[in-house]
């Protein structure tokens, strides 16, 4: 299937050295992803943007305007009705204020913005995304990617109809829409000569890579061959893919990549994109990729601190010296109170009791470095954790986290906590854009698999790695 449409992302002839320091502060003002309608929505240039969907009116201002209208001499309201109306209005204001302050009167919904406003207050809506800080990995060069929010919007417009043709409709335990789009977009933009995936499951990620690059070879490293799943239901096996699977399986770190790439006619490993969805320690995988000379890596499950089944880049780079990083296990802290509130809304929100292990160890998962689908637990000290982050910084040229495709009031997702994520591509309230892109046609369940997918560039060969 050809995916080269009018709105395709740029397709340069060489893999570009692009980066984005994907730090997302608590507020929108500093975001690399514009929040105003004119900068992120192509429709806004034609005057079609609905500002009422992006700007919420101030309650006090509305009341003032309403009261002034009641007293206006041209308003045809008989005087006997004025007092009852004022009493009714005051009663409504008191009841509304009481509702905002009282948890017992709030009907809690994970994705309804009115419900969230009642629980957190009006500021809770604007500060939802990134409110607890978004840890990121510092790159040596501080480079930025060339793609913008407009490129991501155009990519979504092209990818939705492609995604609707996917052979595996129910990809439970595999990638949902957000990460499928992210992998397709990054691959499409970089135009690699060869793609490697470590972990294929039923073959959905293989299919996504094939939609991005119809004519390029793929190498799939996965313990169980996807064809085995064909006996039980839909799966995808690619004809132009070399499988290290089944009886031919070899772990990514044990493959002689120089020999394999030579067999595929690839002399430059920096022209290769490697995709990891294998639930192995990402510290281990980065070291193996550096040794093999790979430059462009994507990690599907970049789990947040305190969550997941392996040591992730996000966990590694969650440090006190990084804005948004480092945590307190003090149960009367502001962070503890915020986390406790958020547990009522988001399935993967982590409170302090879950975040902290023995001796107030919060790094990794309760002070442990996990590996191999949660099978290996290695207790580490904060000094070890700090040294790991320093190593990652020493080889990192770029770090960019994929934002959620759309805000939770649009996707009705209840899984990930927006307070620990970058600002969405399509923000809450932009229903028109959401529908125009075709996202409303998708089942809401496909938006529940977001785990901070990350694209990184690591240093080119020449640096020894222990």
For 295-346, write each residue's pLDDT tens digit: 999 999 999 999 999 999 999 999 999 888 999 999 999 999 999 999 988 9
239-257 average pLDDT score = 97
Assess whether pLDDT exceeds 70 at residue 74: no
Per-residue pLDDT at 393: 95
Per-residue pLDDT at 92: 66
In this predicted model, what pLDDT tens digit does every residue of 22-53 receive, in sequence order?
333 333 333 333 333 333 333 333 333 333 22
Q: Which residues of 33-68 are buried (b: 16+ CB within 10 A; e: fewer)?
A: bbbebeebbbbbeeeebbeeebeeeeeeeeeeeeee
Tell me the pLDDT band of 461, cut-offs 50, 70 and 90.
low
Q: What distance in Å separates the CA atoms of residue 407 and residue 325, rounded to the nearest whole number?
A: 23
Assess whether pLDDT exceeds 50 at residue 5: no
SS (H, E, C) the chain: CCCCCCCCCCCCCCCCCCCCCCCECCCCCCCCCCCCHHHHCHHHHHCCCCHHHCCCCCHHHHHHHHHHHHCCCCCCCCHHHHHHHHHHHHHHHHHHHHHHHCHHHCCCCCCCHHHHHHHHCCHHHHCCCCCCCECCCCCCCCCCCCCCHHHHHHHHHHHHHHHCCCCCCCCCCCCCHHHHHHHHHHHHHHCCCEEEEECCCCCHHHHHHHHHCCCCCEEEEECCCHHHHHHCCCCCCCCCEEEEEHHHCCCHHHCCHHHHHHHCCCCCHHHEEEEECCCCCHHHHHHHHHHHCCCEEEECCCCCCCCCCCCCHHHHCCCCCCCCCCCCCCCCCHHHHHHHHHCCCCCCCCCHHHHCCHHHCCHHHHCEEEECCCCEEEECCHHHHHHHHHHHHHHEEEEEECCCCECHHHHCCCCCCHHHCCCCCECCCCHHHHHHCCHHHCCHHHHCCCCCCEEEEECCCCCCCC
Asked if 192 and 272 touch (Cβ cutoff 8 Å), the reply is yes
Beta bridge partners, 398, equal 457
In this predicted model, what pLDDT tens digit does every residue of 93-132 receive, in sequence order?
655 554 444 333 333 344 455 555 454 443 444 457 888 8
CB under 8 A, 24+ apart: contacts of 381-388: 385/316, 385/319, 386/319, 388/283, 388/316
Per-residue pLDDT at 396: 96
Q: What distance in Å separates the CA atoms of residue 81 and residue 9, rounded to the nearest whole number?
A: 61
Asked if 400 and 455 touch (Cβ cutoff 8 Å), the reply is yes
Where do we find the tokens 């959905």?
204
Assess whether pLDDT exceeds 80 at residue 81: no
Backbone angles phi, psi at 450, to 5 degrees: -75, 125
Per-residue pLDDT at 77: 42
Q: What distance in Å separates the CA atoms of residue 120 and residue 134, rounded to the nearest whole number?
A: 20
Tell me the pLDDT band of 165, cut-offs 50, 70 and 90.
very high
Question: Which one has a higher pLDDT value, 9 or 309?
Answer: 309
- Average pLDDT over all residues of the chain: 80
Assess whether pLDDT exceeds 50 at residue 68: no
Contacts of 127 (CB under 8 A, 6+ apart): 26, 27
CA angle, residues 375, 204, 189, in degrees to nearest 5: 105
Question: Which one has a higher pLDDT value, 3 or 413?
Answer: 413
In this predicted model, what pLDDT tens digit does every residue of 334-389 receive, in sequence order?
999 999 999 988 999 999 999 999 999 999 999 999 999 999 999 999 999 999 99
Lowest mean pLDDT across 14-18, 168-172, 202-206: 14-18
Per-residue pLDDT at 286: 98
Assess whether pLDDT exceeds 60 at residue 12: no
Assess whether pLDDT exceeds 80 at residue 444: yes
Per-residue pLDDT at 114: 52
Assess whether pLDDT exceeds 60 at residue 79: no
Assess whether pLDDT exceeds 90 at residue 143: no
144-168 average pLDDT score = 96
């Amino acid at each position: 299937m050809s995916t080269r449409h009018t709105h395709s992302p740029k397709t340069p002839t060489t893999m570009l050295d692009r980066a984005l320091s994907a730090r997302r502060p608590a507020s929108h003002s500093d975001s690399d992803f514009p929040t105003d309608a004119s900068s992120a929505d192509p429709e806004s240039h034609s005057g079609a943007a609905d500002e009422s969907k992006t700007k919420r009116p101030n309650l006090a201002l509305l009341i003032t305007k309403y009261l002034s209208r009641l007293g206006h001499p041209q308003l045809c309201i008989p005087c006997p009705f004025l007092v009852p109306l004022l009493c009714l209005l005051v009663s409504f204001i008191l009841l509304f204020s009481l509702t905002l302050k009282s948890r017992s009167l709030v009907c809690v919904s994970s994705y309804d913005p009115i419900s969230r406003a009642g629980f957190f207050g009006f500021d809770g809506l604007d500060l939802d995304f990134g409110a607890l800080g978004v840890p990121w990995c510092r790159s040596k060069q501080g480079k930025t990617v060339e793609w913008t929010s407009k490129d991501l919007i155009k990519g979504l417009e092209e990818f939705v109809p492609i995604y609707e043709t996917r052979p595996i409709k129910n990809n439970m335990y595999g990638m949902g829409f957000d990460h499928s789009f992210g992998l397709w977009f990054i691959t499409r933009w970089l135009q690699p000569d060869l793609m490697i995936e470590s972990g294929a499951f039923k073959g959905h990620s293989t299919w996504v890579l094939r939609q991005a690059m119809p004519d390029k070879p793929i190498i799939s490293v996965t313990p169980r061959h996807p064809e085995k799943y064909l006996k039980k239901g839909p799966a995808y096996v690619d004809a132009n893919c070399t499988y290290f699977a089944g009886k031919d399986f070899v772990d990514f770190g044990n493959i002689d990549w120089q020999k394999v790439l030579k067999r595929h006619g690839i002399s430059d490993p920096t022209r290769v994109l490697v995709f990891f969805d294998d639930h192995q320690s990402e510290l281990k995988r980065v070291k193996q990729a550096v040794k093999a000379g790979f430059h462009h890596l994507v990690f599907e499950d970049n789990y947040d601190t305190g969550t997941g089944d392996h040591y992730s880049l996000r966990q590694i780079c969650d440090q006190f010296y990084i804005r948004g990083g480092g945590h307190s296990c003090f149960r009367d802290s502001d962070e503890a109170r915020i986390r406790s509130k958020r547990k009522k809304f988001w399935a993967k929100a982590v409170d302090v009791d879950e975040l902290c292990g023995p001796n107030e160890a919060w790094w990794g998962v309760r002070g442990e470095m996990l590996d191999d689908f949660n099978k290996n637990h290695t207790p580490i000290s904060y000094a070890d954790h700090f040294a790991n982050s320093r190593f990652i910084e020493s080889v990192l040229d770029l770090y960019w986290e994929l934002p959620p495709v759309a805000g939770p009031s649009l996707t009705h997702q209840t899984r990930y906590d927006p307070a620990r994520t970058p600002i969405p591509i399509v923000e809450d309230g932009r229903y028109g854009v959401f529908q125009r892109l075709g996202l409303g046609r998708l089942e809401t369940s496909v938006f529940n698999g977001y785990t901070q997918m990350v694209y990184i560039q690591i240093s080119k060969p020449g640096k020894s790695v222990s």
